Amino acid sequence: MSIKVFISHNHKDYEFAKEIKSFLENWGFDVFLAHKDIKPSKEWVEVIHQEIKNCDIFIPILTEHFYESEWTDQESGIAFTHNKKIYSIRTCETTPRGFINKWQALYFNNSLKEKQRRKELMKIFDMIELDFTDKIKHALISSLERPYTSTFRDASNKIAMLTRMKPFTKQEINIIMKKSFENDQIYDNRFLKSILRELIEEYKKEIEPDLRDKIVNMLERDRVREMLGGKSLWGGPSLYGDAKQKLEQLEGYGGEGIEEMREELRKEIEKEEKKPSLVRGLRDGL
């Protein structure tokens, strides 16, 4: 039930196309990208035709190079003929033409740096979600395991997205719980523990008893560790207190997960510091 995507591009834009492929695969999509996915032993024209025919989504990447290729127009024509859902992505003034000119293109600012690029990439996901909600739910659940969910940020984004897609079937909630139990980026993510507890409470009759008990016991062990100021299962500190105190407790720890936690805590502190104090508010109101 995975969502199959075909990315059409000029070979000069391969690195950008590969970035989109990697992003979508991280969210559970099955993505085909020519020049990488074609095996040399196969007749590549036939492979491309079959991949377009079998895909759910056709994504042409409209750069200044797109129409220089002799194949991109033909790929668009095949997608149009087979009534594929077409989402054009443009990085310049190039607009869809020919077979795909009836669909408005999503503008992507390709000059942005890493953090801003994530927001641009999420626009692609949001665009697709409108038409493939049920399939995206399945894709997200499938992607909760490593290597697709290998950072706290990935875990937080995916679980948050999934909670918007409730209700879950008995099979879905059990897969979510099983993958959450097996992936420390989910069960040891301080931002997700309350969400996991809420899901367990909401679906306690549907979750397999043994699995439910394992997750509850693990979450309770972590809660005790936090009360005692101890370490979590992954070796990092179990944090307690306000955002500033938690940031101080991270001193001396390293790694991608820790850096993400620092970043979130700094944002929380900054947000708190921007709030006008109650005393100042009362004084200004007089």
pLDDT tens, residue by residue, 127-143 = 998 889 889 999 999 99
Minimal CA–CA distance to 184: which of 116, 255, 249?
Answer: 255
275 compared with 263, residue with greater pLDDT? 263
Tell me, yes or no, if the pTM score tops 0.85.
no
pLDDT at 141 (0 to 100): 94
Q: Which has the minimum average pLDDT: 20-24, 121-125, 166-170, 226-230?
A: 226-230
Q: What average pLDDT does the segment 231-254 reach?
A: 65
Average pLDDT, the chain: 83
pLDDT at 3 (0 to 100): 93
Domain spans in the chain, listed from the N-terminal domain onward: 1-132, 144-234, 241-286
Helices 114-129 and 133-142, axial angle in degrees (round to 10): 130
Residue 283, pLDDT > 50, answer no
Residue 185, pLDDT > 80, answer yes
How sure is the predictor about 278, in pLDDT bands with cuts at 50, 70 and 90? very low
Is the peptide bond between 147 and the residue preceding it cis, with omega within 30 degrees of 0?
yes
The pLDDT tens digits of the residues spanning 27-60 come to: 999 999 987 666 655 677 888 999 999 999 999 9
Residue 202, pLDDT > 80, answer yes
Q: Which has the minimum average pLDDT: 34-38, 108-112, 163-167?
A: 34-38
Q: Which has the minimum average pLDDT: 17-26, 66-75, 217-226?
A: 217-226
Highest mean pLDDT among 130-134, 229-233, 257-261: 130-134
pLDDT at 121 (0 to 100): 93
pLDDT at 108 (0 to 100): 93
pLDDT at 130 (0 to 100): 84
Domain covering 1-132 in this structure, CATH number = 3.40.50.10140
